[in-house]
Amino acid sequence: MLTRMNNIESHLRQKMSERLANLLRSFPAFSESDIENGLACMKPRSFKKDDFLMKEGKTCDWIAYIGSGIVRNFYYSSKGEEITYCLTFPNVFISAYSSFIRNKETFENLQAISDVEALIIRKKDYQALINSSRAWLEFSNHFAEQSYVLMEERLLSLQMESAEQRYRSLLRSSPEYLEHIPLKYIASYLGITPRHLSRLRKDNPA
């Protein structure tokens, strides 16, 4: 039985590595050798629902590829309330990026909303890739740019769009995952109350 479970886990991790390799192939600078070198530096990690990938007050020294599952980023307000400001779905990279690049303690928490399978690369290995490969350096710059763009889009969305517009956007981008996210987290992400979210869901069925 144990051998069978190990074989299943090995197969799932192989599939995750293949999905990541395909994602990296979409970046023109990468050769197959670059991709193989990158995958060799990444270690599989499993997180159960409600596990923390990162807690506030810690220094983040990794970047993770989310192969399956959902992760939320949240922080505590001055009133001690949890504010969910980011939701990450499969086939995406994630990190407490400000902490990662500055080597400082983070203010945020990264928590698994569901069981999560990930591939993680430590900062020292990531830096070695960047130093040895122009393609990985370009990818690192691209990752930094995308992190900035996503944060800017998130801030503009909260300032310029209505709650209904934000909810419809979430429905369009990730409809298959919303049923796995507690409503209190979705409401927090949208910047509204759970009661307001209930009205939006009634008016905008998935």
pTM of the model: 0.88
pLDDT of residue 28: 92
Q: What is the pLDDT of residue 141?
A: 93
User: What pLDDT, on a 0 to 100 scale, did the predictor assign at position 160?
Assistant: 84
- Per-residue tens of pLDDT for the chain, all 206 residues: 555 545 556 766 789 999 999 999 999 999 999 999 999 999 999 999 999 999 999 999 999 999 999 999 999 999 999 999 999 999 999 999 999 999 999 999 999 999 999 999 999 999 999 999 999 999 999 988 988 888 888 888 878 888 888 888 888 888 888 888 999 999 999 999 999 999 888 887 76
Residue 172 has a pLDDT of 87
Q: In this structure, which long-range contacts are made by residues 86-92, counting pairs with CB atoms below 8 Å and at least 24 apart in sequence?
A: 86/154, 86/189, 87/113, 87/174, 87/181, 87/185, 87/189, 89/174, 89/177, 90/66, 91/19, 91/23, 91/65, 91/66, 91/67, 92/65, 92/66
Which pLDDT score, from 0 to 100, does residue 5 have? Answer: 43
Q: What is the pLDDT of residue 1?
A: 56
Q: Which domains does the chain have, with CATH numbers?
A: 2-160 (2.60.120.10)
Q: What is the pLDDT of residue 152?
A: 85
Q: Are 89 and 117 in contact (CB under 8 A)?
A: no
- pLDDT at position 3: 57
